[in-house]
Amino acid sequence: MLKLAAVSPGVPLGIAPLAAARQKGIPVVGELALAKDFLQGTLVAVTGTNGKSTVTTLIGDLLRGSGKKVFVGGNLGTPLAEYLAGPQECEVVVLEVSSFQLDSAGEFRPRVGVLLNITPDHLDRYASYEAYVDSKMSLFKNQQPGDVAVVNGDDPVIAGWLGKEARQHSPWSLRGEIRQYSVCETTGRAGALSGTKVRIVAEGEAGKKTEEYELAGTPLDQAPNTENAMAAILAVRALGCSPAAIQQSLAGFAPLPHRLSLVDEINGISYYDDSKATNIGAVYSALGGMKQQGKRFGAWF
């Protein structure tokens, strides 16, 4: 007797065989749903239309720099299912997760969830843009008090979903602690950008205090990586990483390939490889970071 149907993220959940399975009471789940019963260790999950791989990798680096043994994978590199089948020797598991994976995630519950942004994408898969937004927001639906939701406070779609009216129409509500970050020094934000410094409001034994992390001289000192750095810092501070260890690891971060990588400068024109910008939101974000004074920029590859 078939007990469940394990589905690959690339398979649409509405196809006839899966609909027939559900009609027979057979659960249709993806690999993220396995985390509830099999995963050992603390779970961090990162999603968003753009920037997932960079932030997932950066969080892993910051955690390792703080002395933690970390697995990094999911939608990036090694699948979660492969890690679950092994000895599970890491104390923290950091996953990049896609909307397709979240659609079949069951009771997947990250201790720290990170949502970077939402812009139109994969609309050939979803019935509407609103359905895609709901998929991304579902990262947080199983969180409980004590869990942390790190979100981009400048993203209008995320802000709209978090609004009171949107919450009233949702079948679930956020129960984790929401920590928002912003490129502006906005009151009430857990993280904000001030020049080249990230300012984080942290809770300590003596109450709230403000910490500063310098991005100048690191590979993260220009948009959109300044936002990526804020998200990652908030995530690892929620897990107790020390400010000193975080600052040291920021300086040593190696950016992933094909993401605003300088190819060459010819006759005063800088040529960049940003071939991982596969949607409009990614290109818009990258162009927003191209503000070097007196520079001219050439082709995108």
- DSSP line for 17-34: HHHHHHHTT--EE-GGGG
Which tokens belong to 90? Answer: 């890491």
Read off the tokens for 176.
Answer: 């984790």
Residue 281 belongs to a domain: yes
Q: pLDDT digit string (tens) for 76-101?
A: 999 999 999 999 999 999 999 999 99
45 and 149 belong to one structural domain: yes
Residues 184 and 63 in one domain: yes
Please check whether residues 51 and 134 belong to one and the same domain: yes
Q: Looking at 50, 68, 75, 117, which residue is catalytic?
A: 75
Which position among 52, 68, 136, 141 bears the catalytic label? 52
Work out how many domains the chain is built from and give that number: 2
- The label of the residue with tokens 């050992």 reads 40
64 assigned to some structural domain = yes
CATH number at residue 234: 3.40.1190.10
122 is catalytic: yes
Listing DSSP states for 186-253 in one string gives -TT-SEEEETTEEEEEEEETTEEEEEEEE-TTSTTSSTTHHHHHHHHHHHHHTTT--HHHHHHHHHT-
Structural domain containing residue 133: 33-251
> Worst-scoring range by mean pLDDT, 56-65, 106-115, 198-207, 232-241?
198-207
Dist CA 119 CA 156 (whole Å): 10
- pLDDT given for residue 301 in this prediction: 46
Count Cβ atoms within 10 A of the Cβ of residue 202 and give its class: 0-12 exposed, 13-18 middle, 19 or more buried: middle
- The answer on 267 and 180 residing in a single domain is no
How far apart, in whole angstroms, are the C-alpha atoms of residue 92 and residue 87?
14
Whole-model pTM: value is 0.88
**Beta strand 207-214 pairing with 197-204:** antiparallel
Q: Is 267 a catalytic residue?
A: no
For this structure, is 52 an active site residue? yes
The pLDDT of residue 106 is above 80: yes
* Set 50, 68, 117, 122: catalytic member: 122
Q: Considering the domain boundaries, does residue 22 fall inside one?
A: no
Residue 47 lies in a domain: yes
